[in-house]
């Protein structure tokens, strides 16, 4: 299983693919990301790599199961999915979406 993630071109914010053919199908909330089968994920990645006016630097985040990231990438993806773990940002992703942390 994999997740597809990228940054939005216009503001650079982290997005997660949640289904659908266009940018409206992406979400800023990692908790809503679609769990993709490997083959489908690879095809989607190739599709979105070419859509450079919408997203930048798309890549796949591998999962061991429904909610566990591959260990090697855990810290980075945890921070990316949940926002900075420190700082004066009042827009921490988890708080923004009124839920606990992802992963």
Partner 1 sequence: MYQYDQFDHAMVAARNAEFKDQVERRLKGELSEDQFKPLRLMNGLYLQLHAYMLRIAVPYGVLSSRQMRTFAHIARTYDRDFGHFTTRQNIQFNWIKLADTPQILEDLAAVEMHAIQTSGNCIRNTTTDQFAGAARDEIDDPRPWAELIRQWSTFHPEFTFLPRKFKIAITGATRDRAAIRVHDIGLQLTDKGFDVYVGGGMGRTPHLGHLIRSGLPGEKLLSYLEAALRVYNRYGRRDNIYKARIKILVSALGPQEYARQVEEEWATLDQAQIDAPHAEIARIKSFFPQPAYADKAFDAAALDRAKAADAGFARWVRNNTLAHRRDDHVSVTISLKPTGLPPGDASSAQMDVMADAADRFAYGELRVSHEQNVILPHVAKADLYDLYRLLDQNGLSSANVGKITDMIACPGLDYCSLANARSIPLAQDISQRFADAELTDKIGDLQIKISGCINACGHHHVGHIGILGVDKQGEEFYQILLGGRADEQAALGVITGKGLSAEAVPAALERLIKLYLDLRTDETERFIDTVGRLGRDAFAGALHEPA
List residues binding partner 1 (CB under 8 A).
7, 9-14, 52-53, 56-57, 70-76, 79-80, 83-91
Nearer to partner 1, 38 or 74 (CB): 74
Tokens representing 97? 């979406």
For residue 29, what are the contacts with CB-CB under 8 A and spacing of at least 6? 16, 93, 96, 97
Query: What minimum distance in Å lies between the beta carbon of 35 and partner 1?
Result: 20
Cβ atoms 59, 69 nearer than 8 A: no
Under DSSP, the state recorded for 60 is E
Nearer to partner 1, 6 or 36 (CB): 6
Nearer to partner 1, 11 or 39 (CB): 11
């Amino acid at each position: 299983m994999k997740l597809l993630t990228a940054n939005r071109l216009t503001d650079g914010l982290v997005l997660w693919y949640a289904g659908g053919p266009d940018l409206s199908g992406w979400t800023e909330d990692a908790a809503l990301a679609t769990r993709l089968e490997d083959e489908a994920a690879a095809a989607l990645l190739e599709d979105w790599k070419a859509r450079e006016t919408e997203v930048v630097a798309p890549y796949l985040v591998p999962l061991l199961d429904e909610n566990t990231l591959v260990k090697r990438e855990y810290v980075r993806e945890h921070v990316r999915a949940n926002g900075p773990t420190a700082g004066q940002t009042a827009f921490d992703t988890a708080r923004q979406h009124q839920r606990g942390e992802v992963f």
